[in-house]
């Protein structure tokens, strides 16, 4: 069977999160009907070909949020919503291929990589990089972004995008680099 982002998200939600021994409180809180009411839509193909299943993991966590919201609405207001849809293709809403290229992983001047993410609106990231907000489609619409990112180090871009412009971006780390970060150390016992 071909790879499906939605199938992987459901597997992560059901088996990786809800069935994990450290999440017994979640497993006992939601019945199968609640889990079945969460639907994931979008392209079955991965948008960023990375081996850590980033989009699938984030979407599975959005599924947990949807379950918690559904539970809250039921307990607080006595309202059980019907199906909750989570669209995994939200970044494709950008108007042009150039604007879509704001979501990607790019090589930096110091031979590292950064993952930039244009959020719901790529304008602030494009402004931070000093690039036009849109361009006509070209054979490789990512070229201007790739070229601009190659002018800076990963640390410079991390500071520019995160600290100065408050945009989502991260330096891509090796597994050993990531495992020594405060984030990884703080969450190593959580079963994520």
pLDDT in tens, 37-59: 999 888 787 765 555 566 677 78
The 10s digit of each residue's pLDDT in 79-92 is: 988 888 887 765 55
Total domain count for the chain? 2
Task: State the residue range of the domain holding 37.
Answer: 5-89
Whole-structure pTM over 0.85, yes or no? no
φ, ψ for residue 65, nearest 5 deg: -60, -45
Give the CATH number for residue 128: 3.30.1540.10
Residues 85 and 98 in one domain: no
- Please give the DSSP secondary-structure letter assigned to residue 110: T
Nearest by Cα to 96 from 150, 144, 147? 144
Determine the Cα–Cα distance for residues 45 and 59; give it in Å rounded to an integer: 14
Residues 158 and 171 in one domain: yes
Is the pLDDT higher at 40 or at 157?
157
């Amino acid at each position: 069977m071909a790879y499906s982002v939605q199938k992987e998200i459901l597997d992560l939600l059901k088996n990786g999160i809800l069935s994990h021994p450290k999440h017994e409180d979640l497993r006992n809180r939601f019945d199968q009907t609640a889990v079945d009411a969460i639907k994931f839509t979008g392209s079955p193909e991965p948008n960023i070909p990375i081996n850590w299943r980033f989009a699938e993991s984030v979407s599975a966590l959005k599924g947990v949020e949807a379950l918690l919201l559904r539970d809250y609405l039921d307990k607080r207001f006595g309202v059980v919503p019907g199906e909750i849809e989570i669209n995994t293709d939200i970044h494709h809403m950008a108007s042009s291929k150039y604007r879509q290229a704001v979501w990607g992983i790019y090589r930096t001047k110091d031979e590292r990589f950064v993952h930039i993410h244009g959020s719901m609106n790529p304008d602030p990231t494009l402004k931070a990089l000093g690039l036009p907000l849109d361009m006509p489609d070209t054979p490789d619409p990512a070229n201007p972004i790739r070229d601009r990112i190659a002018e800076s180090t990963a640390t410079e871009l991390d500071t520019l995008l995160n600290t100065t412009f408050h945009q989502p971006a991260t330096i891509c780390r090796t597994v050993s680099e990531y495992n020594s970060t405060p984030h990884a150390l703080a969450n190593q016992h959580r079963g994520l």
